[in-house]
Structure 1
Amino acid sequence: MSLIATLARLEAVESGRAQPVATVRHRHLSDRPLVLVSLITAGEAGAPLGALVGTERDAPRLLVVPQPRDRDLRFAFLADLADVVLPYVDSYADVVEAAERSETDPETGKRVKVEVELCADAPQLIVPSRSGVEFVRLLGRSMRFRRTAEQEPEAPHPAPPRVPLLGRWLTHFGERARVPGSALLLALSDVLSRHWATGQSSLEDQHLGALLAWIDPPAGESGARAALEAELRRDSGGQLVRPPAGPATDPAFDNKLLAPAIERYDRARTALAAAEDGLEADDRLGELTTAEGEIRALVERVARPSWDAVWQGLDLLRTLPEGAHAADRWTRDRWSFTGHRDRVVAGEPPQPRRDDAVTAANKLATREREQARLDAQEALDDPLVMAGRRLVGEAFTGEVIDVVMTYSESRRPSPRPLVTVRTDDRPHLGERTKVYRSLDGKPQAAEFVGHARAAGRTETAGHAAGGHTGAAAHPEGVVGRGGPEEDGGLLVLRIVDKMGRGKEPEPGSVPEKGDLVCFTLFEHEQRGGAKLPDPEETPWTHGGPPGDPDAVPQPDPVTEEDIL
């Protein structure tokens, strides 16, 4: 946790209201997100109980499993969920635009640009909390390998045709959610916590009702008191007024309301199966319908507060302007969505249960690279985030008080201007440390030369302007590392790139005297890692090389984790 976030939490405790830790919205929000509030059954690992799902705030679709232990009813629930999610996904898959992508030419081995299709937009799935993301991943894992009646006519409990396809898409959403900065699948509690700091722990922030109570408490009421009431307040029947956002349910609800309702449903279904004539069957069918309606009402009663809370949280996030780099990260999400669409259309098999060594290493490298890129972009987009980096010595801002033109010592001298910056920050700078500033959206690099004496600024300018300055030379008036107390906070930097190819820098490429500048010690763009070997060349220590290329691959053994 950064110092800014810690201070914001302390201020939230003192003021009784959540404090902003961002001035812009660092995640893209779709104009038409699909909200999913899911519930699971206590005592059954991953067994769905019901869900509210939809894109319309006032018209959610209620899906219920009246007997979660019944496999056929579970598949019916998943088929109904597919009927909502897949048309929503397909609505984004058909609208495309032309885009360029770098690919390796198989003949020459060189990187060339080719024109491909890119989906103009992508679907976005919103769940209330982090546990909702894990449930989406679990649903995807349990569904994508299911066999349908067309694939295996004699298989017991065949899945409806659309269930495996939904499993593949939910798996993709869940995997993409592990990439820092991705917005295809968002846990609203995490996004809100990124933009506001409350006076409670990060674990308590996963209760969406309590989190919103801190951010937007009722008029005249403290956020701490409102959050406590959101967590603990119960009605006269002992039920929570604002149940947690799932997927787990409250034990009092399970024991007092849900379990008796399911028992009545089971009795009604047993009685219907034992009915001996049509008149009796009609009566038993009415009892079964009533029992099922009671369960549906209970599920909606528990899920509706979380559904309303999700939309309230989205309204709060939309009050913030979107960060400049959020669109770039959303473009990468669109590429990811387009790639998976193409794999599905091409008939490729579902994602494996376990990645091979090369795929796993690539995923890990991608997540590490995207985390570093996200940290840099959030700081560049948000002055409040940048302030946190400045406090820990990873960036500094200041005023340019002197600019001296010098040149490199080479056959073709290049401009290497010396820029003196006055700053109150204390960056962790060493000799020739690289620093970066944003210039027209691109990082411009500079080297730290040293600290300038306050009285020696004229000397520095006069000496440096008089001749050729090499990379290792220190002009007169520039001293060593020192500290702000010694040198007055005057930093001398040598600009080294993004000035054009001519002998004179291009206009605007060099800071001018009086400009306010911000330099960072961290890179703005992350470099790619070393190229990993192809699967055919993977060493035996990492699962390769593969066996006979003509051999039919065998599926992974089914584990308890794969069965809901």
Structure 2
Amino acid sequence: MSLLTTLARLEAVRAGRAQPLATVRHRHLSERPMVLVPLAAAGESGAPLAVLLGTDRLAPRLHIVPQPLNRTQRFEFLAAMAADLLPYLESFGAEVELLEGSEKDPESGEKVPVVRELCADAPQLIVPNGGAVHHLALLGRSTRFRRTAEDPEPGPYPAPTQVPLMGRWLTHLTERAQVPGSSLLLPMTSLLARHWATGQSHLEDQHLAAQLSWHAPPAELTGAEAAELAESERDAAGQLVRPPAGPATDPKFDELVLGPAITRHDAAVAALRRSDGQARQDDRQDDAEQAEVLVKEARSQLEAALFAVLEPTWNDLWKGLDLLRALPPAGHLADRWESDRWSYTGHRDRLAAGEPPQPKRDDAVTAARKLAQREREQARLDIQEALDDPLAMAEHRLAGEAFAGVVTDVALEYSAGPRSKPRPVLTVRTPDRPHADAGREVHRAHAEPAQRGEIAGSAPGEVLVRLVSGMGRKKEPEPGSVPEVGDTVVFTLFELAPRQSAPLPEPEDTPWTHGGPPGGGPDAAGTAGAAGGAEEEWE
């Protein structure tokens, strides 16, 4: 936790409400997001119990598993969930942009012009917290390899056709969620924590209702009191008024509500089976019809109980979206969303090409590519947020990695040699205390084109910067390329573009010590593409 975040948390405790950590919104928000609240059964990791999802705030759709131990009912639940989720995910694949670029010819090694499709938009899933992301990842892992009735050898318990396809989408979205700055799958608690600081710990922020309580506490309560009330308030029946839901359930709910409701449903289903058998023998339809009514009533009661648990979190997710939409978008947001669109387009194309599902474990090259991509995207995200947001830049200024100030003097100097070049020296008055060692390279923020300099000297409250680039090719600097006296400038001691990592070998060229031939699997060469590794170079 940075110093600025710590100060903001302390201020939140003092003021009794959340404090801003950003002046702009650093994550893309879709105009039509899919809000999804999953619920898992206690005692078994990844066992689905219910899900509330939809794109309409006033019309959520509920799907449940009446008996989580019943394999058939699980697949029926997953098929119903896929029937709602897949049309949304696939609806963004039709409208595309045609982009001209170039890529290397595998035979000649020369660059050849190509035209590629880029989806004009991409889907976005909003879930309550990181636990919900993990739950979706488990669902994806457990379903993307399932055999269906259409397979040559379906085996026992074939899954509906759309279930493995949904598993592949969930795996792609949850893997993409690990890329810094990605917005295809967003946990609301992390989203709010990036933009506001509360007076509680990061772990306590994982309870969405408690986190939101810091933003608008009742007049008679502080944020801490409102958060405690959101976590612990119970109704007359002993149930939480605002359950965590996503994906954990309250033990009291499991004991007093969920367990008896499942037992009633199981008993009604057992009675229906007995009455069906008797009806075939005694030709008595009345008992069978009455048993069917009891099953429907038991299921309705179970749905009502689960909806009551999920609805508060559903409403909280939309409240969080309202808070975030009030912030203006960051300047580099479109660039990061374009990267998400490329990721979505790539997965769409892999599905259309009939490639196999993502492997359970990545080969060495794919794992290295993913790690390099995430490191590169984290560096790019830190730089872009600092350029877009004064509060983010303040983090670097406090750490001595940047400084801002007013230009008090400009001395036009030239380099030595037969072709002298302009090397103006700026005197910058600043309240910051950067690590300004003489000769250290600095970069001017918000300069177009990019401008580099070096520290020429420093004194308390003052830094001398010698500009060495970004002033044109003439002997005299281009107009406007050198700050004037009275201008406010910001310089960073870190580069304003992430460095590219060294290229990695193809899986078939990887040494056996790193998982390549001859010890690699027979499909090692195709694993990288199926796993959705680092994006290809595109110019």
Q: Which residue of 1 aligns with 2:481?
A: 509
Aligned mate of 1:340, from 347, 361, 374? 347
Q: Which residue of 2 aligns with 1:534?
A: 506
How many correspondences in the alignment? 520
Q: Which residue of 2 aligns with 1:258?
A: 258
Q: Which residue of 2 aligns with 1:365?
A: 372
CA distance in 2, matches of 1:140, 1:410: 64
Q: Which residue of 2 aligns with 1:498?
A: 470
Q: For 1:340-370, what per-residue CA distance to the aligned partner results, in whole angstroms no more than 9, with x for missing partners?
A: 1111111111111111101100111111111
Q: Does 1:525 align with 2:532?
A: no
Cα deviation, residue 161, structure 1: 0.5
Q: Does 1:400 align with 2:407?
A: yes
SS at match of 1:36: strand
CA distance in 1, matches of 2:256, 2:152: 42
Q: Which residue of 2 aligns with 1:291?
A: 298
Q: For 1:268-321, what per-residue CA distance to the aligned partner results, in whole angstroms no more than 9, with x for missing partners?
A: 111111111122211111111111111111110000000000000000011110
Contact 1:208 1:245 (C-alpha < 8 Å) held by counterparts: no
Pick closer, same or farther for the CA change 1:546–1:346 going to 2, 3 Å: farther
CA distance in 2, matches of 1:184, 1:265: 37
Q: Which residue of 2 aligns with 1:10?
A: 10
Q: Which residue of 2 aligns with 1:51?
A: 51
Cα deviation, residue 547, structure 1: 6.5
Cα deviation, residue 450, structure 1: 1.1
Task: Give the counterpart letter for 2:190 in structure 1.
Answer: D
CA distance in 2, matches of 1:84, 1:124: 14
Pick closer, same or farther for the CA change 1:298–1:540 going to 2, 3 Å: same
Q: Which residue of 1 aligns with 2:22?
A: 22
Pick closer, same or farther for the CA change 1:524–1:286 going to 2, 3 Å: same
Aligned mate of 2:313, from 289, 306, 331? 306
Task: Give the counterpart letter for 1:261 in structure 2.
Answer: A
Pick closer, same or farther for the CA change 1:386–1:113 going to 2, 3 Å: farther
Contact 2:507 2:524 (C-alpha < 8 Å) held by counterparts: no
What is the TM-score of this pair, normalised by structure 2?
0.93
Pick closer, same or farther for the CA change 1:293–1:379 going to 2, 3 Å: same
**What are structure 2's unaligned runs of at least 5 residues?**
280-284, 528-539
CA distance in 1, matches of 2:259, 2:173: 33
SS at match of 2:45: coil
Contact 2:50 2:63 (C-alpha < 8 Å) held by counterparts: yes
Q: For 1:200-258, what per-residue CA distance to the aligned partner results, in whole angstroms no more than 9, with x for missing partners?
A: 10000010000000012223431111111100000111100000032010000001110
CA distance in 2, matches of 1:375, 1:178: 15
CA distance in 2, matches of 1:554, 1:420: 57
Q: Which residue of 2 aligns with 1:477?
A: none
Task: State which drifts further: 51-60 or 380-389.
Answer: 380-389
Cα deviation, residue 104, structure 1: 1.9
Task: Give the counterpart letter for 2:39 in structure 1.
Answer: L
Task: Give the counterpart letter for 2:501 in structure 1.
Answer: G
Q: Which residue of 2 aligns with 1:90?
A: 90
CA distance in 2, matches of 1:130, 1:417: 50
Task: Give the counterpart letter for 2:485 in structure 1.
Answer: K
SS at match of 1:92: coil
Contact 2:506 2:525 (C-alpha < 8 Å) held by counterparts: no
CA distance in 2, matches of 1:148, 1:423: 67
Q: How does 1:369-380 map to 2 (within 5 A)?
A: 369-380=376-387
Contact 1:413 1:503 (C-alpha < 8 Å) held by counterparts: yes
Aligned mate of 1:350, from 345, 354, 357? 357
SS at match of 1:361: helix
Aligned mate of 1:450, from 452, 457, 472? 457
Task: State which drifts further: 307-316 or 73-82.
Answer: 73-82
Q: Which residue of 1 aligns with 2:420?
A: 413
Task: State which drifts further: 175-184 or 105-114.
Answer: 105-114
SS at match of 1:402: strand
Contact 1:24 1:323 (C-alpha < 8 Å) held by counterparts: yes
Cα deviation, residue 106, structure 1: 2.5
CA distance in 2, matches of 1:95, 1:410: 57
Q: Which residue of 2 aligns with 1:329?
A: 336
CA distance in 2, matches of 1:315, 1:163: 32
Q: How does 1:28-107 map to 2 (within 5 A)?
A: 28-107=28-107
Q: For 1:455-510, what per-residue CA distance to the aligned partner results, in whole angstroms no more than 9, with x for missing partners?
A: xxxxxxxxxxxxxxxxxxxxxxxxxxxx51xxxx2221121222222222222222
CA distance in 2, matches of 1:159, 1:387: 53
Task: Give the counterpart letter for 1:53 in structure 2.
Answer: L
Cα deviation, residue 333, structure 1: 0.5
Two-structure CA RMSD over aligned residues (Å): 1.9
Q: Which residue of 2 aligns with 1:461?
A: none
Task: Give the counterpart letter for 1:140 in structure 2.
Answer: G
Contact 2:363 2:524 (C-alpha < 8 Å) held by counterparts: no
Task: Give the counterpart letter for 2:325 in structure 1.
Answer: R
CA distance in 1, matches of 2:471, 2:518: 50
Task: Give the counterpart letter for 2:444 in structure 1.
Answer: R
Q: Which residue of 2 aligns with 1:432?
A: 439
Q: Does 1:282 align with 2:254?
A: no
Q: Which residue of 2 aligns with 1:466?
A: none
Task: Give the counterpart letter for 2:498 in structure 1.
Answer: Q
CA distance in 2, matches of 1:167, 1:548: 26
Contact 2:512 2:519 (C-alpha < 8 Å) held by counterparts: no
Q: Which residue of 1 aligns with 2:241?
A: 241
Q: For 1:168-223, what per-residue CA distance to the aligned partner results, in whole angstroms no more than 9, with x for missing partners?
A: 11111000000011000000000101111111100000100000000122234311
Q: Which residue of 1 aligns with 2:177?
A: 177
Cα deviation, residue 441, structure 1: 5.7
Task: Give the counterpart letter for 1:279 in structure 2.
Answer: D
Q: How does 1:184-203 map to 2 (within 5 A)?
A: 184-203=184-203
**% identity of equivalent residues:** 60
Q: Which residue of 2 aligns with 1:389?
A: 396
Task: Give the counterpart letter for 2:391 in structure 1.
Answer: L
Cα deviation, residue 534, structure 1: 1.3
Q: Which residue of 1 aligns with 2:116?
A: 116
